[in-house]
Amino acid sequence: DSGVTQTPKHLITATGQRVTLRCSPRSGDLSVYWYQQSLDQGLQFLIQYYNGEERAKGNILERFSAQQFPDLHSELNLSSLELGDSALYFCASSVGQNPREKLFFGSGTQLSVL
């Protein structure tokens, strides 16, 4: 158990809808990262937050947004969903904002857009 909690584990929705994925980092970790994993693209970095502030941005679509709350949990909002958004979404956390730090991953949210 990594200590990172993601909910829900599975999400099935329709095109055009909006969903929210939730992540609670390990106790004491200040950084939260969001990744998208699909069979053809591998693990793609979306965005990082550190202590409530956006720290780094990757290949995140404009239809997607995220935030980190004062209690350090994070939410990833996906809107106007398309079939191609179907993927496994992982949250990871680390102690600080140093990019060399190892990441602790949650078990992921499997999103299916029908």
* Residue ranges that bind another protein, judged by CB under 8 A: 2, 4, 33, 35, 41-45, 48, 56, 58, 90, 92, 99-100, 102-108
Return d(Cα 106, Cα 23) in angstroms, integer.
8
Minimal distance in Å, beta carbon 90 to another protein? 5
CA atoms within 13 A on the CB side of 57: 9
DSSP single-letter state for residue 100: T
Contacting residues for 30 by C-beta, under 8 A, at least 6 apart: 50, 51, 72, 94, 95, 96, 97
Minimal distance in Å, beta carbon 85 to another protein? 19
Whichever of 79 and 97 has its CB closer to another protein, that residue is 97
Per-residue tokens: 86: 């179907």
Minimal distance in Å, beta carbon 102 to another protein? 4
Whichever of 5 and 79 has its CB closer to another protein, that residue is 5
Whichever of 64 and 104 has its CB closer to another protein, that residue is 104
Whichever of 28 and 102 has its CB closer to another protein, that residue is 102
Q: Are strands 64-68 and 53-57 parallel, antiparallel or unpaired?
A: unpaired
Minimal distance in Å, beta carbon 44 to another protein? 8
